[in-house]
Structure 1
Amino acid sequence: MKTYISMLRGINVSGQKKIKMADLRAMFEAAGYSNVRSYVQSGNVIFDADSEDSAAVTAAIEAAIMETFGFDVSVFLRDAGDFRRILDGNPYLSRAGVDPKRLYVTFLRSTPAAELVENTEVPAGSSDEFTVEGDLVYLHCPSGYGTTKLSNTFFERKLAMPATTRNWNTINALNKMASDT
């Protein structure tokens, strides 16, 4: 049995792709997953699966969402070990004066091509910064995510793939929930 954390992209935002978390949990259970829990309304689900094949689990969840709710949603799946590495790997966390409330992680569908990463720069005049580590982008947005140009859409466009972003508090909460199984 393996514990996974799934993060759905773009549900319950501005009234679009509305899914009640109770309905989402029920869908996961109907799909055969166990110990299903959700965190906040943005589509974070922690669950256990018999499969070690994360690509197959991702595809099954995306298909179940389409069948159950009638719309396409990108699902980003990581396991509990991945989340511990995410927490340990944040390059901004140990810096003096960095407020953890201004840290974010963007999850990418896969590791982007090196030339795309090299051609992605912080817009001029911004104090925001980012670091791409494999299929993750660590963000430090001193003025907050609401004002940054380094949005989810920015990285999807620049790195040519779907992405979803979570704040540092959510990353910590999901890690704790996955560890408490």
Structure 2
Amino acid sequence: MPTYLGFLRAINLGAKRKFPKDAIRASVEQAGFTDVATYINTGNIRFTTAMRSRARIEAALEEAFLADRGFEVRTIVYSAAEFARIGEDAASLADPATVRHYVMLLKDEPDAEAVATLEALAKNGHRVVVRNRAVHLLLGSQWREGMTDPLGLDRRLDGVVTSRNVTVVSALAQQWC
């Protein structure tokens, strides 16, 4: 059976959206997925399923999470091969001039116009590189602690998005793909 990775959006951010990793694992197993594992408490899951449709997998997970938690948990799913490529892209973009590297994981791939708009945001040593359903935010030496989004990327990304730092992305690609 194929292996997939899922990324939950906007959990464990406040008192009302708690979803510990053990509860996530139990919910995914109860929904019929197998070989379920979680990584840290930020909503990263690995599982296997006979389902082939990413949309069906996402819908099944989101339905299970709503039933379990009582609130909507948007979920972004990648095949293990897709996520391995994201890890490879992250490694290929490594640069000593990059102070921080975040990866925005997208439910839907942006069109060519959106890619051009996002990549044109580069300034002050910060860059944006879009590869399929992943947007790499590479922050240069102008980045300072406390800067959350110096390029205004959040307000330019359409649809369901969640982000992870490159350390988590690399670890997951190495361990789970």
TM-score, length of structure 2 as denominator length: 0.86
Match of 2:134 in 1: 136
What secondary structure, in the 3-state scheme, does the structure 1 residue paired with 2:93 have? coil
The code of the aligned residue for 1:92 comes to L
Instruction: Specify every segment of 5 or more residues in structure 1 that has no aligned partner in the other structure, as ranges.
Output: none
Match of 2:93 in 1: 92
Instruction: Percent identity, please.
Output: 29
Indicate conservation of the 8 Å contact 1:155/1:163, yes or no.
no
| Deviations 1:84-131 (CA, angstroms, capped at 9, x unpaired) | 2112223522x3x245x722211112111333333334376x432111
Match of 1:165 in 2: 163
What secondary structure, in the 3-state scheme, does the structure 1 residue paired with 2:25 have? helix
Q: State the shift of 1:37 in Å.
A: 0.8
| Deviations 1:107-160 (CA, angstroms, capped at 9, x unpaired) | 112111333333334376x43211112211012123368414258xx4453132
Deviates more, 1:79-88 or 1:111-120: 111-120
Match of 1:107 in 2: 105
What secondary structure, in the 3-state scheme, does the structure 1 residue paired with 2:163 have? strand
What secondary structure, in the 3-state scheme, does the structure 2 residue paired with 1:83 have? helix
Structure 1's 16 and 87: CA in aligned 2 closer, same or farther, altered over 3 A? same
Indicate conservation of the 8 Å contact 1:46/1:174, yes or no.
no
What secondary structure, in the 3-state scheme, does the structure 1 residue paired with 2:109 have? coil
The code of the aligned residue for 2:11 comes to I
Alpha-carbon distance in 2 for matches of 1:145, 1:164: 20
1:1-181 matches, cutoff 5 A: 1-90=1-90, 91-93=92-94, 95=95, 97-98=96-97, 102-120=100-118, 121-122=120-121, 126-142=124-140, 143=143, 146-149=146-149, 154-179=152-177
Structure 1's 123 and 87: CA in aligned 2 closer, same or farther, altered over 3 A? closer
Alpha-carbon distance in 2 for matches of 1:92, 1:123: 15
Instruction: Give the length in aligned residue pairs.
Output: 173
Alpha-carbon distance in 1 for matches of 2:70, 2:111: 32
* Structure 1 ranges of 4+ moved more than 4 A: none
